[in-house]
């Protein structure tokens, strides 16, 4: 399947939104009463959710964005730490007129989403953390991310980009040729190459430590929360997911076998109905409180 086939028959638009001066690439689809924002991982891009948009668009206004410094979004020259990502996300929400949203974040996207939910709970209807980062600082994992990404960006060899995507997947078949080519093109934009040190700043130990989602921050999250994890996640073992879910009051945990770091993509047939059920229940909970 290609990204175009995944979106076949769906009315959608890819736009550039001015988020307080940062041009932000956004795929928008659906027109529900509530909005779902999809946030990708480190060095990723909105195509990470190609297998999810069509399932959610009949019920929700969907926005998949390239986060600060990623994809085809603007790449200002400063380290991309979590408060910067959060500011950019809030500026995007303001630009498109969304006050409260459901957040779906994979890896780095989950880190950013959880941070926003802890800082501005009034803006978050629900929270999904898909193989989310940010609760630990594992030097081996951080070095693996830094090395694999830097090699792929600094060399024009598309096999290094393919290897970077294969690292995410339990089954390499899920790293489609279209995804590889899309990421390779993104990786070799001049401004992406020039700012790779900013994008990878969270792989520096001191920087990561001051940005971590510590238990006291997770305890401040009020939104209904779903944690989704793969048993073969190369960047974090299952106990990390269990601890994350335990630190957030009332969080639901879903584990998938034969799944790596992209559960929404690798296990889309299982994840999409789970997500829709969770979103519906979260909406009812919010309405009952109001």
- Retrieve residue 206's tokens: 């001191």
88 is annotated as an active-site residue: no
Helix axes 158-166, 139-154, angle to 10 degrees: 150
**Rg of the chain, C-alpha, whole Å:** 17
Chain-centroid distance of CA 118 in Å reads: 17
5-14 long-range contacts, Cβ below 8 Å, gap at least 24? 6/50, 6/51, 6/53, 6/54, 7/50, 7/53, 7/54, 9/54, 10/53, 10/54, 10/57, 12/53, 12/57
Look at residues 68, 99, 266, 81 and name the one whose alpha carbon lies nearest to residue 170: 266
Q: Which of 40, 45, 184, 261 is catalytic?
A: 261
Q: Which residues of 235-270 are buried (b: 16+ CB within 10 A; e: fewer)?
A: bbeeebbeebbebbeebebbebeebbbbbbbbbbee
| Residues annotated as part of the active site | 261
């Amino acid at each position: 399947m290609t990204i175009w086939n995944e979106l076949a028959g769906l009315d959608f638009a890819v736009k550039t939104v001015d988020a307080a001066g940062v041009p932000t690439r956004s795929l928008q689809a659906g027109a529900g009463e509530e909005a779902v924002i999809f946030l990708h991982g480190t060095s990723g891009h909105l195509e990470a959710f190609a297998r999810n948009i069509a399932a959610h668009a009949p019920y929700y206004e969907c926005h998949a964005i390239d986060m600060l410094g990623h994809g085809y979004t603007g790449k200002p020259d400063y380290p991309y730490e979590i408060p910067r990502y959060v500011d950019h996300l809030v500026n995007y929400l303001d630009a498109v007129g969304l006050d409260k949203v459901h957040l779906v974040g994979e890896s780095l996207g989950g880190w950013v989403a959880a941070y926003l939910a802890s800082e501005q709970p009034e803006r978050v209807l629900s929270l999904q953390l898909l193989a989310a980062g940010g609760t630990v600082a594992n030097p081996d994992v951080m070095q693996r991310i830094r090395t694999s990404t830097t090699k792929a960006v600094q060399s024009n060899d598309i096999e290094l980009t393919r290897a970077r995507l294969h690292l995410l997947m339990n089954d390499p078949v899920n790293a489609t040729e279209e995804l590889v080519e899309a990421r390779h093109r993104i990786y070799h934009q001049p401004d992406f190459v020039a700012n790779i040190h900013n994008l990878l700043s969270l792989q520096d130990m001191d920087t990561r430590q001051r940005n971590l989602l510590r238990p006291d921050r997770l305890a401040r999250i009020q939104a209904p929360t779903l944690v989704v994890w793969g048993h073969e996640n190369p960047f974090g073992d299952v106990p990390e997911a269990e601890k994350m879910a335990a630190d957030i009051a009332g969080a639901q945990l879903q584990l998938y076998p034969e799944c790596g770091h992209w559960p929404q993509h690798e296990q889309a047939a299982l994840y999409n109905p789970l997500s829709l059920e969770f979103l519906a229940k979260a909406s009812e909970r919010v309405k009952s409180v109001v």
